[in-house]
Structure 1
Amino acid sequence: MEAAVARRGLPAASALALLAGLCLVGCGPKPALRIGFLGGLTGRAASFSEEGRNGVILAIEQRNQAGGVGGRTLELVVQDHGTTAGQAVPAFEALVATRVDAVIGPYASETALALLPAIDAARVLVLSPAVTSVALAGRDDHLVRLSRTTRDNAQALAEKLHARGQRRVALATDTGNRAYFVAWRDDFKAAFTALGGQVVVDAEFTSTPDTSFEGVVRSVLAAAPDALVAVTSSVDAALIAQQMAKQPQRVPMAAIAASDALLELGGGAVEGMLVAQAYNRADDSPRFRSFVEAYRARFDREPSYSAIASYDAVLVLAQALAQAAPGEPLRDAVLHYQPYEGVQGAIRFDGFGDGTRPAFFSVVRHGRFEPL
């Protein structure tokens, strides 16, 4: 090439300078792939998003140590969307403005529903580890979900309670989150009734720092159920269990959320509680144990489902980025190159980007979740 440039009238020294300049442009480090994180990192429910962020951090660090994706490192851009769904759209738009290649999050169905128009307008892949609302399923959009729907989860718990011989079930539902808790409540009622069971009362409440869970428990006990399902967060489920423990008559409890906060806040009051979980805590496979050990070493705590699913989200994203053809939309690539190997088995999506994961159940014994 040097001789060819010289023949066009440039001296050899100028040709060498031109080559050096081209190398500076084309031979330097490749730009990083920017991965956005969108979660609620403030407020009472912040721990769920914080654990998700930890899972993302660990996966990105490990991928970068292994060489990144096609020689490009992954760069994390974190955005807090605040405590309400109304704050999510400007937070998402601020994240997109940083020119991220994809977004991991959000972690609440209500937030995801509020974001759908903005997600499709931006045409940026949003890979949510944890949202489960049926209203998000079956849509041809840019939101891809790793978790299965509330309907699937509600059906699984209804079958489990019915198999345990419980026929008269009470609910305590947080109606402040209609996209998740109310939808879950409605799906559970339909599934449990179809099995021949009866929902004898639904003690509705809106979770606030001033909520009287004593009143919730008294409403439940007045209906004489043989089980109570807390359709709310782990924090509120623990508070309900504490109030139940104070009553002379106690009712066996189940919870649909089971983070470590349930154990930490519930103490002895949550002993014997049945909990529905989206991952297998008893998994002793080398892949899962390796992940758990790495997470403990990095964050000095046990990983939650949010951390596991978020770690898996990065695995999915990195593989899709590595295999995507030039110009192929990233959302299409995620669906095209599946299945993906997660920390607890294969990850698959249907044609709409809706994921499926099996349900797992545990019982709280001696301050720990013991798988059934």
Structure 2
Amino acid sequence: MEASSRQPANPAPADDGWRIGVLYSRTGVTSATGSEHFFGTVLAIEEVNAAGGVGGRLLDPVVYDPKSDPDEYRRLATRMLQEDDVTVIFGCSTSSSRKAVLPVIERTNALLWYCSIYEGFEYSPNVIYTGGVPNQNSMQLAAYLLRNHGRRFFLVGADYIYPRESNRIMRDMVEQHGGEIVEELYLPSDADPAALEEVVRQIKDIAPDVVFSTLIGRGARDFYRLYREHGIDPAQIPIASLTMTEGETRMIGSELCGSHIVSASYVNTLNLASNQRFLKSWHARFGDQPASMWSEMAYNQVHLFALALARTGSLDTARLVEAVHEVEFDSPEGVLKIDPENNHAILTPRIAVCRPDGSFDIVWEGRGPVKPDPYLTTYGFAEFWLDGESA
């Protein structure tokens, strides 16, 4: 599979291979994240096929670029399902794109594999969610920041569902545990530099203890650059995020990112044999492009799918979902399983601080994998006060 999109006019018969859809944005505001999802998917498909495929049949991807447009996601998902003989789709980077395709997925009883972290509060029998939810990243981040950086939080995000819900959860956790939200602002997803600069000026004037950012794409990268241009020291007032990763630190300028914080189940400095195998394959395929949680989660879910497919010998949705509950994958971040109660991944939370070279040092790691609680039935905050726990 070439690392570029193709748009087949006349799909080959399904019995030539296992037809699957790949639907990530390579262009538009979320192109950085979408491209990393795409490359992780490419690597896993190529590995599965190099090993002989599944049951002697190769994975046969149909690939489109939705250009970061939710309407394009819906249109192309419909095309895959109605015209391209696809019933399984790996795709969507944002909640808005997932929400756009979900009705089509459910109406046709297809199966979506969604690898981004997201705000939770969703379950579908037609979706496997392999990214983290708030009880696997936000709660740990709030506890870490309150303990290590102070109680005055400044929240800034893009104006759509994921940032608003993530900030609502962060506000609840901070205020319930003695902290204060000094400001909460939202900007368009592709915010212009002038608007971002005004936010940075407000941060400099208010001088919070920490900034929690749910900005995305180009706007997020510009925000990190402007932060340093305006003389704010991340060692004193760090930006904490659930989404800033190695690929984007390189795009921003790694020297500008030192001391900023991320809460994620994977950073590429993890000292695991499974991660070393992944990085060796990654760099052999993509050179010095850094792997990140975006590429790693996309890679993981293709391998989970292949393991489930080997059990079913069928692309039947119900059978695949049942099978994926019974398999596990020795992923770059550790053994990966899907919780049969809610189709979400069981993940180990980690918190890392960015080095001046753009990579991350893990400063805290959970005692073990955390079961997903997408509906946050309890915040369970006390267990994340991190007493005696460090990497």
When the two structures are superposed, what TM-score results if normalisation uses the length of structure 2? 0.80
**Alignment correspondent of 1:356:** 346
Alpha-carbon distance in structure 1 between the residues aligned to 2:328 and 2:285: 28
Is 1:304 the counterpart of 2:286 in the alignment?
no
**Alignment correspondent of 1:135:** 121
Alpha-carbon distance in structure 1 between the residues aligned to 2:48 and 2:285: 15
**Alignment correspondent of 2:47:** 62
Tell me, what secondary structure is at the counterpart of 2:262?
strand
Q: How far did residue 352 of structure 1 move?
A: 2.4
Q: How far did residue 307 of structure 1 move?
A: 1.2
**1:70-107 Cα distance to aligned partner (Å, 9 max, x none):** 11111111122232212221110111121124111112
Letter of the structure 2 residue corresponding to residue 160 of structure 1: Y
Letter of the structure 2 residue corresponding to residue 343 of structure 1: P
Distance 1:298 1:240, change over 3 A: same
State the identity %.
22
Is 1:232 the counterpart of 2:215 in the alignment?
yes
Mapped contact 1:153–1:359 kept (Cα < 8 A): yes
Query: How many pairs align?
Result: 340
Is 1:116 the counterpart of 2:102 in the alignment?
yes
Is 1:144 the counterpart of 2:128 in the alignment?
yes
Is 1:53 the counterpart of 2:38 in the alignment?
yes
Distance 1:255 1:172, change over 3 A: same
Distance 1:363 1:81, change over 3 A: same
Distance 1:249 1:362, change over 3 A: closer
Q: How far did residue 262 of structure 1 move?
A: 2.7
Is 1:153 the counterpart of 2:151 in the alignment?
no
**Alignment correspondent of 1:333:** 322
**1:265-305 Cα distance to aligned partner (Å, 9 max, x none):** 14433221122233043323222111111111111122121
Letter of the structure 2 residue corresponding to residue 109 of structure 1: S
Task: Give 5+ residue unaligned stretches, structure 2.
Answer: 1-13, 364-391
Task: Give 5+ residue unaligned stretches, structure 1.
Answer: 1-28
**Alignment correspondent of 1:198:** 180
Please provide the CA RMSD for this pair. 2.2
Is 1:103 the counterpart of 2:86 in the alignment?
no
Q: Point out the structure with the larger helix share.
A: 1
Distance 1:53 1:334, change over 3 A: farther
Is 1:321 the counterpart of 2:305 in the alignment?
no
Larger CA Rg, structure 1 vs 2: 1
- Structure 1 residues 167-178: aligned runs within 5 Å: 167-175=151-159, 178=160
When the two structures are superposed, what TM-score results if normalisation uses the length of structure 1? 0.84
Alpha-carbon distance in structure 1 between the residues aligned to 2:174 and 2:72: 36
Corresponding residue to 2:164 among 174, 182, 193: 182
Letter of the structure 2 residue corresponding to residue 287 of structure 1: S
Mapped contact 1:203–1:220 kept (Cα < 8 A): no
Q: How far did residue 31 of structure 1 move?
A: 2.4
Larger displacement relative to structure 2 (240-249 or 196-205): 240-249
Q: How far did residue 144 of structure 1 move?
A: 1.0
Mapped contact 1:252–1:273 kept (Cα < 8 A): yes
Alpha-carbon distance in structure 2 between the residues aligned to 1:154 and 1:365: 21
Q: How far did residue 222 of structure 1 move?
A: 2.9
Letter of the structure 1 residue corresponding to residue 328 of structure 2: P
Q: How far did residue 46 of structure 1 move?
A: 0.8
- Structure 1 residues 235-250: aligned runs within 5 Å: 235-247=218-230, 250=233
